[in-house]
């Protein structure tokens, strides 16, 4: 595997493709999940009223903040390792 | 070195290509939005058209890369650029007729490479650049998009399993409008720049611009507006294939596929890698089908489209080479005028033929198989029997 990567590295920018994959996957999946949770919150509000909606919104805020914290931690780690 | 008449011809034919690019690629931005009924067809293409123009002004990174690294810039002459563009136009219009979402970028690159090969042989084509900038992204782009969209659709499906379907459908359709807008901007950012790059290449080849000069503002405005106009007219045949041919899209799938397409295109633009927006959009739509519970994808349609993708580069190269030989045999610039007229005649002929079974905003959402899904017309194969694998 390593030899294939090494032999093709002159023609194929593996690093760049990897960056695009990681960035795209992270951002796309996060956006879709966050939007879906927001739709869920709205659905819960329509069905069961404010109490459940508040719970769902709290969960949404929790997921967003945790994701951001994790993302910045990974970013920070990458920054420290590569500096 | 300076040949103003020929340069004007090249700019005109580049505008023609840009128009077909917008026309051909409307589907990339709006097909899922139209297929799920999130927006009316006309409204969707109007919004997409306006945002394509906006996108064209946002970044010039891809324009800088498309003009270099694939063919030796010092060997490019105007007749080569002209022939390359005619090859790309012919391929774009032919694939539009068959409803095939093929890559306009690959048609453009193929046309220029073919004309270059006819002009000066293989030594002036940068094969390494062609592999790293065209072949590798052509494999990577739809694969990435398919995997990410499948994951996003699966997650979204599981997360909304307890939501009421009316709210879910309304919410996702609303999200689709936003994601379609984002995708249109991404398309404008990525695709209008390709023609900008080619016009810049022609200006450099003519000595009007210095080597490595930036893209002039008039080129940016011209390309942005032209691609917007092409987008507004809407390539309904391809919108139909993208919206209904690969899979039957739900609003959740449409939203996930469009978000994935926009993010993949914008991140590749950010890194200056020109991807085919068509490959990304088609990969995302397929991925959204894979992400459903029944894995509902019409693989036969996908396989035919993939075959067309494989053919795009060599076929456009052949058209570009033939165009160059014809112009060269007649002599410049009369040869270019004749070739340009023949290209226009061929396009008009194809458009007239397409009127036998017109796809319009009114019938674009008809059930798949209800029209002569042109590229499925193989003897003994009825379009209505196209399978959706469970």
Residues on chain A touching B140 (C-beta within 8 angstroms):
17, 20-21
CB atoms within 10 A of CB B176: 31
Is B372 domain-assigned?
Answer: no
The minimum CA-CA distance between A14 and chain B, rounded to whole Å, is: 9
Query: For testing the chain B interface, which of A28, A38, A53, A56 should be mutated: the one with the most B CBs within 10 Å?
Result: A28
Question: In sequence order, what are the beta bridge partners of B125?
Answer: B71
When CB atoms are compared, the residue of A16, A28, A33 closest to B273 is: A16
Nearest residue on chain A to B254, alpha-carbon basis: A32
**Token pair belonging to B315:** 């076929």
Show the domain range for B95. Answer: 4-362
> A36, A32, A13, A15: which is closest to B261 by C-alpha?
A32
Tell me the pLDDT tens digit for each residue of B99-118: 899 998 889 889 989 999 99
Residues on chain B touching A37 (C-beta within 8 angstroms):
159
Is B257 domain-assigned?
Answer: yes
Q: What DSSP state is assigned to residue B117?
A: H
Query: Does the distance separating the beta carbons of B156 and A32 come in below 8 Å?
Result: yes
CB atoms within 10 A of CB B40: 12
Lowest mean pLDDT among B17-31, B58-72, B121-135, B220-234: B58-72
Asked if residue B347 has pLDDT above 90, the reply is yes
Asked if A20 has any chain B CB less than 8 Å from its own CB, the reply is: yes
Whether the CB-CB separation of B220 and B188 falls below 8 Å is answered with no
Query: Does the distance separating the beta carbons of B144 and A25 come in below 8 Å?
Result: yes
> B39, B22, B44, B26: which is closest to B229 by C-alpha?
B22
Query: Does the distance separating the beta carbons of A42 and B148 come in below 8 Å?
Result: no
pLDDT band with cut points at 50, 70 and 90 for residue B356: confident
Whole-number pLDDT of residue B386:
40
How many whole angstroms separate alpha carbon B240 and alpha carbon B32?
Answer: 10
Whole-number pLDDT of residue B382:
42
How many whole angstroms separate alpha carbon B322 and alpha carbon B316?
Answer: 10
Tell me the pLDDT tens digit for each residue of A8-35: 666 677 788 888 888 888 888 888 888 8
Whole-number pLDDT of residue B165:
83
Instruction: Read off the pLDDT of each residue in B334-342 and give the average, rounded to a whole number.
Output: 93
Asked if residue B67 has pLDDT above 60, the reply is no
Question: In sequence order, what are the beta bridge partners of B71?
Answer: B125
Contacts 24+ apart (CB under 8 A), B42-49: B42/B361, B44/B180, B45/B231, B45/B232, B45/B233, B45/B234, B45/B361, B46/B232, B47/B177, B47/B180, B47/B181, B47/B184, B48/B180, B48/B181, B48/B184, B48/B187, B48/B231, B48/B232, B49/B22, B49/B184, B49/B228, B49/B229, B49/B231, B49/B232
- Of the two residues A5 and A47, the one the predictor is more confident about is A47
How many whole angstroms separate alpha carbon B160 and alpha carbon A39?
Answer: 8
Query: Does the distance separating the beta carbons of B260 and A24 come in below 8 Å?
Result: yes
Whole-number pLDDT of residue B84:
92
pLDDT band with cut points at 50, 70 and 90 for residue B60: low
Asked if A67 has any chain B CB less than 8 Å from its own CB, the reply is: no
Residues on chain B touching A22 (C-beta within 8 angstroms):
none
**Token pair belonging to B113:** 């490479």
Whole-number pLDDT of residue A23:
86
Asked if A55 has any chain B CB less than 8 Å from its own CB, the reply is: no
Whole-number pLDDT of residue A66:
77
Interface pTM, i.e. ipTM: 0.74
Whole-number pLDDT of residue B387:
38
Whether the CB-CB separation of B199 and B219 falls below 8 Å is answered with yes
Whole-number pLDDT of residue B378:
43
The minimum CA-CA distance between B167 and chain A, rounded to whole Å, is: 6
Residues on chain A touching B264 (C-beta within 8 angstroms):
20, 24, 28
Q: Respond yes or no on whether the N-terminal peptide bond of residue B333 is cis (omega within 30° of 0).
A: yes
The minimum CA-CA distance between B279 and chain A, rounded to whole Å, is: 15
- Of the two residues B54 and A58, the one the predictor is more confident about is B54
Asked if A5 has any chain B CB less than 8 Å from its own CB, the reply is: no
Residues on chain B touching A17 (C-beta within 8 angstroms):
136-137, 140
Whole-number pLDDT of residue A72:
76
Under 8 Å CB-to-CB from B96, ≥6 apart: which residues? B20, B23, B24, B235, B237, B238, B350, B354
Is B20 domain-assigned?
Answer: yes
pLDDT band with cut points at 50, 70 and 90 for residue B345: very high
pLDDT cut 90: percent of chain B above it: 39
CB atoms within 10 A of CB B270: 14
Lowest mean pLDDT among A3-7, A55-59, B38-42, B320-324: A3-7
Q: How far, in Å, are B6, B142, B251, B312, B389 from residue B31 at the CA level?
A: 38, 17, 12, 22, 21
Query: Does the distance separating the beta carbons of A46 and B148 come in below 8 Å?
Result: no
pLDDT cut 70: percent of chain A above it: 81
Tell me the pLDDT tens digit for each residue of B254-298: 999 999 998 998 888 777 777 888 999 999 999 999 998 888 889
Tell me the pLDDT tens digit for each residue of A29-68: 888 888 888 888 788 777 777 777 677 777 777 777 777 7
pLDDT band with cut points at 50, 70 and 90 for residue B205: confident
Reduced to 3 states, what is the DSSP secondary structure of residue B381? Answer: strand
Domain count, chain B: 1
Is B68 domain-assigned?
Answer: yes
Residues on chain A touching B148 (C-beta within 8 angstroms):
24-25, 28-29
pLDDT band with cut points at 50, 70 and 90 for residue B389: very low
How many whole angstroms separate alpha carbon B26 and alpha carbon B245?
Answer: 16
Whole-number pLDDT of residue A4:
62
Residues on chain B touching A43 (C-beta within 8 angstroms):
160, 162-164, 167-168, 171
Residue B129: exposed, middle, or buried by beta-carbon count in 10 A (0-12, 13-18, 19+)? middle
Whole-number pLDDT of residue B320:
93
Reduced to 3 states, what is the DSSP secondary structure of residue B231? Answer: helix
Rg value, chain B, Cα: 20
Asked if residue A7 has pLDDT above 70, the reply is no
The minimum CA-CA distance between B9 and chain A, rounded to whole Å, is: 35
Whether the CB-CB separation of B13 and B226 falls below 8 Å is answered with no
Query: Does the distance separating the beta carbons of B151 and A29 come in below 8 Å?
Result: yes
Query: For testing the chain B interface, which of A5, A10, A20 should be mutated: the one with the most B CBs within 10 Å?
Result: A20
Whole-number pLDDT of residue A69:
78
Could you tell me how far CA B254 lies from the centroid of its own chain? Answer: 19
Instruction: Read off the pLDDT of each residue in B161-183 and give the average, rounded to a whole number.
Output: 86
Interface size, chain A vs chain B, as Cβ–Cβ contacts under 8 Å: 103
How many whole angstroms separate alpha carbon B48 and alpha carbon B32?
Answer: 13
pLDDT band with cut points at 50, 70 and 90 for residue B381: very low
Give the helix ranges, DSSP H, for B121-216: 127-130, 136-159, 165-205
Tell me the pLDDT tens digit for each residue of B131-166: 877 888 888 889 999 999 999 999 988 888 877 888
Asked if residue B248 has pLDDT above 50, the reply is yes
Is B355 domain-assigned?
Answer: yes
Nearest residue on chain B to A16, alpha-carbon basis: B271
Whole-number pLDDT of residue B388:
41
Asked if residue B309 has pLDDT above 80, the reply is yes
Task: Supply the mean pLDDT for chain B.
Answer: 85
Query: Does the distance separating the beta carbons of B144 and A24 come in below 8 Å?
Result: yes
């Amino acid at each position: 595997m390593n030899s294939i990567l090494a032999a093709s590295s002159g023609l194929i920018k593996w690093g760049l493709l990897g960056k695009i994959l990681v960035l795209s996957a992270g951002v796309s999946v996060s956006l879709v999940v966050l939007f879906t949770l927001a739709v869920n919150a709205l659905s819960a509000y329509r069905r069961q009223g404010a109490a459940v909606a508040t719970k769902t919104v709290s969960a949404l805020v929790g997921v967003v903040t945790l994701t951001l914290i994790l993302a910045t931690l990974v970013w920070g780690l990458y920054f420290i390792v590569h500096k | 070195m300076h040949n103003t008449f020929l340069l004007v011809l090249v700019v005109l034919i580049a505008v023609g290509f840009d128009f077909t690019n917008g026309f051909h690629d409307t589907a990339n931005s709006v097909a899922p939005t139209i297929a799920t009924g999130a927006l009316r067809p006309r409204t969707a293409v109007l919004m997409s058209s306006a945002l394509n123009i906006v996108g064209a002004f946002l970044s010039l990174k891809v324009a800088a890369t498309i003009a270099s690294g694939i063919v030796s810039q010092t060997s490019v002459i105007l007749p080569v650029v002209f022939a390359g563009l005619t090859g790309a136009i012919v391929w774009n219009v032919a694939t539009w007729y068959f409803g095939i979402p093929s890559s306009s970028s690959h048609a453009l690159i193929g046309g220029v490479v073919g004309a270059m090969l006819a002009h000066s042989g293989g030594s002036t084509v940068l094969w390494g650049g062609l592999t790293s900038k065209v072949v590798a992204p052509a494999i990577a782009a739809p694969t990435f998009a398919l995997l990410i969209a499948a994951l996003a659709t699966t997650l979204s499906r599981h997360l909304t399993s307890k939501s009421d379907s009316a709210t879910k459908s309304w919410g996702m359709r609303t999200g689709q409008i936003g994601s379609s807008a984002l995708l249109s901007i991404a398309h404008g950012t990525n695709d209008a720049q390709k023609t900008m790059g080619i016009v810049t290449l022609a200006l450099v080849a003519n000595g009007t611009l210095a080597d490595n000069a930036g893209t002039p503002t008039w080129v940016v405005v011209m390309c942005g507006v032209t691609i917007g106009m092409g987008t507004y007219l809407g390539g309904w045949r391809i919108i139909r294939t993208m919206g209904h041919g690969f899979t039957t899209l739900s609003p959740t799938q449409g939203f996930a596929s469009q978000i994935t397409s926009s993010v993949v295109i914008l991140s590749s633009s950010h890194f200056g890698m020109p991807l085919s927006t068509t490959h990304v959009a088609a990969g995302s739509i397929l991925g959204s089908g894979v992400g459903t519970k029944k894995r509902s994808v019409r693989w036969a349609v996908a396989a035919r489209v993939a075959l067309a993708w494989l053919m795009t580069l060599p076929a456009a190269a052949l058209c570009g080479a033939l165009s160059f030989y014809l112009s060269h045999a007649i002599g410049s610039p009369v040869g270019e005028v004749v070739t340009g007229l023949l290209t226009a005649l061929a396009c008009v002929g194809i458009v007239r033929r397409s009127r036998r079974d017109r796809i319009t905003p009114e019938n674009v959402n008809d059930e798949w198989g209800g029209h002569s899904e042109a590229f499925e017309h193989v003897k003994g194969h009825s379009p209505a029997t196209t399978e959706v694998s469970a």
